Amino acid sequence: MDLNQLLWIVPVVLAVVAVLQILYLLGLSFAPGGRRKPVKQPTTPIMPTTPQGGLNTAPSYSAAPTLTAGKMVLLSGLSTMTEIPLPNNNFGIGRFYHPENNILVALDEKSISRRHATFTGDDNLREYHLTDTSSSYGTSIRKDNQFQLLTPGKRERVYNEDVVQFGNVVTVRFVLPGDTRAAATRL
């Protein structure tokens, strides 16, 4: 075989492969269940702040006292939301809503871990705590105009109007009953 004979074989083989691929795609579209509508992805994170659809049956959820006036005001990191009401006095914060693991506040951002932090509070004492649960990118609280990284596993007291950063970019201001950090630490 000379070179001229080989040169015409290459385009023929490529044409046959292209025809086979077209036939395969046509076969997929006519097969049962073949042509499906594309799934529309939500533009905002799916994040109910209270369990819905019968998920509120576990005693740990229904017995938890409701925090009457608490919320997190989003300052940066999630442009689709402005504030999140706190669901109760004992819940987890993570990347995805997962009531079975008590993750009741979801912050859908890449630097947020699935189980990022936990929030606990006592309305009677007006004391609230945040604990980083060994998250990948950490949790920081602003004190004296600079962020200080929380030690994983150690409870840190959170005051009204404290600014907290979860991960790299999600920054919130806690609005809680009680004193601000400046008023509580004033002598």
pLDDT tens for 52-100 read 443 333 333 334 444 556 899 999 998 878 889 999 999 999 999 999 9
Q: In the chain, what percentage of residues exceed pLDDT 90?
A: 52
State the Cα–Cα distance between residues 83 and 174, nearest whole angstrom: 10
- The two structure tokens encoding residue 105: 């506040």
DSSP element (H, E) containing 62: helix 59-62
Q: From the CB of residue 66, how many other CB atoms can be counted at a distance below 10 Å? A: 12
Alpha carbon distance, N-terminus to C-terminus of the chain: 98
pTM, two decimal places: 0.62
DSSP element (H, E) containing 7: helix 3-30
Least confident of 17-31, 80-94, 144-158: 17-31
